[in-house]
A and B are shown apart, each in its own frame.
Chain A
């Protein structure tokens, strides 16, 4: 899964220097764990909260769940700058489109806008994005746009550097027809396990539930995370 490569080796503008720490010359990256899962009536999205610059945690309470429209969010992984710029551009384009249409936009439209930008500028960008939301036509949907600019819809999708460690957990625990509460527990469990194993993921777990009623957000702090016997 190309989206999982947490690039820690970008251009080094300065060589070894005693006066400033090494991370000042590193790119800011959301080496991360993100996921989204569909349920009947909506989607649950989740992410960790760590942004790193080399070995320094630049932000330990990052919000990687970015609103694109009232009922469409995206989870960002990869370069923090690239994903913020793409999300801003897509938010603008989608807002304009929605005004022209005079109705709420489709999740598939938002996903295609992300895909167009990620594919066109694939050589310059380092961004893995999961787009999820609710619309009247198809209900809850999750689309994934990994590094390179592919677009595909999946019932459950994980991304970021920490996602490698939870493929087995997701494959074995996901079932179709889960309720909203089951999806929330599933996402919180998966993210906790990834955060324990991946050095670039950590902090708190941020969750968002998007349904016809709107968006509900929650934060699970470190001491409230689900515990597993080995941890």
Chain B
């Protein structure tokens, strides 16, 4: 009941938890793996919400899945064309700008927001968020999706700039696990992608290996 009320005011929020965090030398982008219909049926337990738009640039989506797929397909195409023209890998900011342009120009039809994260030679690791209406913002870390409300306090208290890769993995895993523990439309396994100068590495943490907290 509450969720439908919220949706009419704030717009559709995918039942999901997504985040991206910068660390010393790279970024980690992560999400849960649940796709649900209306909060009472889990249509998939293991979908991957982390979409690769270029070698070292990934996106994750919040909002309508259909809109998100359409936008990311378009972005992938534009980026690969751009990268061929420039004869170099695209900047993360370029990827985020492509998303922003699509979201802003079609703001009346679309209902999707994105987190774009990656590594490029010019600025190193970066995290960008493109909101529903097309605002583009660069941040040290960002969280999104319905499950993110429950972990604002946790990420605000635990984030430190320049973490190591291991600290950052722990931070991202804990945050998503906590959100999955409180949000009924987030769940399944934790998908993480670690992006550095050396490439992108996909880490999957299954349910039984997730961190447990005091009441579990």
Binding site for B on A (CB under 8 A): 2, 5, 164-176, 189-190, 193-194, 196-197, 228-231
Question: B210 to nearest A CB, angstroms?
Answer: 13
Q: Give Cα distance in the complex from A32 to B160, angstroms.
A: 28
Residue of A nearest to B160 (CB): A229
Q: Give Cα distance in the complex from A193 to B155, angstroms.
A: 10
Q: Quick check: A193 and B152 within 8 Å, CB to CB?
A: yes
Question: B24 to nearest A CB, angstroms?
Answer: 15
Q: Quick check: B2 and A171 within 8 Å, CB to CB?
A: no
Q: Quick check: A229 and B153 within 8 Å, CB to CB?
A: no
Residue of B nearest to A158 (CB): B153
- Of B140, B157, B161, the most chain A CB neighbours within 10 A belong to B157
Question: B97 to nearest A CB, angstroms?
Answer: 25
Cβ contacts under 8 Å, A167 to chain B:
150-151, 153, 178, 182
Question: B153 to nearest A CB, angstroms?
Answer: 4
Question: A142 to nearest B CB, angstroms?
Answer: 14
For window 121-162 of B, CB contacts with A under 8 Å fall at 140, 149-157, 159-161
> Would you give the 0/1 interface string for B187-216, flagging 1 where the beta carbon is closer than 8 Å to chain A?
000000000000000000000000001110
> Would you give the 0/1 interface string for B64-84, flagging 1 where the beta carbon is closer than 8 Å to chain A?
000000000000000000000
Contact of B157 among A2, A164, A193 (CB under 8 A): A193
Q: Give Cα distance in the complex from A230 to B150, angstroms.
A: 17
B181 within 8 A of A: yes
- Of B155, B156, B159, B161, the most chain A CB neighbours within 10 A belong to B156
Decide yes or no: A172 and B178 within 8 Å by CB, A193-B157, A230-B159 being known contacts: yes
Contact of B152 among A165, A175, A176 (CB under 8 A): A165
Question: A38 to nearest B CB, angstroms?
Answer: 13
Question: A229 to nearest B CB, angstroms?
Answer: 6
Q: Quick check: A168 and B214 within 8 Å, CB to CB?
A: no
Decide yes or no: A175 and B154 within 8 Å by CB, A165-B149, A168-B175, A230-B159 being known contacts: no
Cβ contacts under 8 Å, B214 to chain A:
171, 174-176
Q: Quick check: A169 and B154 within 8 Å, CB to CB?
A: yes
27 CB-based A-B contacts, threshold 8 Å: A5-B2, A165-B151, A165-B152, A167-B150, A167-B153, A167-B182, A168-B151, A168-B175, A169-B151, A169-B153, A169-B154, A169-B156, A169-B157, A170-B153, A171-B178, A171-B213, A171-B215, A172-B174, A172-B178, A193-B157, A197-B152, A228-B156, A229-B159, A229-B160, A229-B161, A230-B155, A230-B159
Decide yes or no: A193 and B153 within 8 Å by CB, A167-B182, A168-B182, A171-B181 being known contacts: yes
Decide yes or no: A171 and B156 within 8 Å by CB, A164-B149, A164-B150, A165-B149 being known contacts: no
Q: Quick check: B181 and A231 within 8 Å, CB to CB?
A: no
Question: B149 to nearest A CB, angstroms?
Answer: 5
Cβ contacts under 8 Å, A229 to chain B:
159-161
Q: Give Cα distance in the complex from A193 to B154, angstroms.
A: 8
B103 within 8 A of A: no
Contact of B156 among A170, A175, A197 (CB under 8 A): A197
Question: A36 to nearest B CB, angstroms?
Answer: 16
Cβ contacts under 8 Å, B159 to chain A:
229-230
Q: Give Cα distance in the complex from A197 to B156, angstroms.
A: 9
Cβ contacts under 8 Å, B150 to chain A:
164-165, 167-168
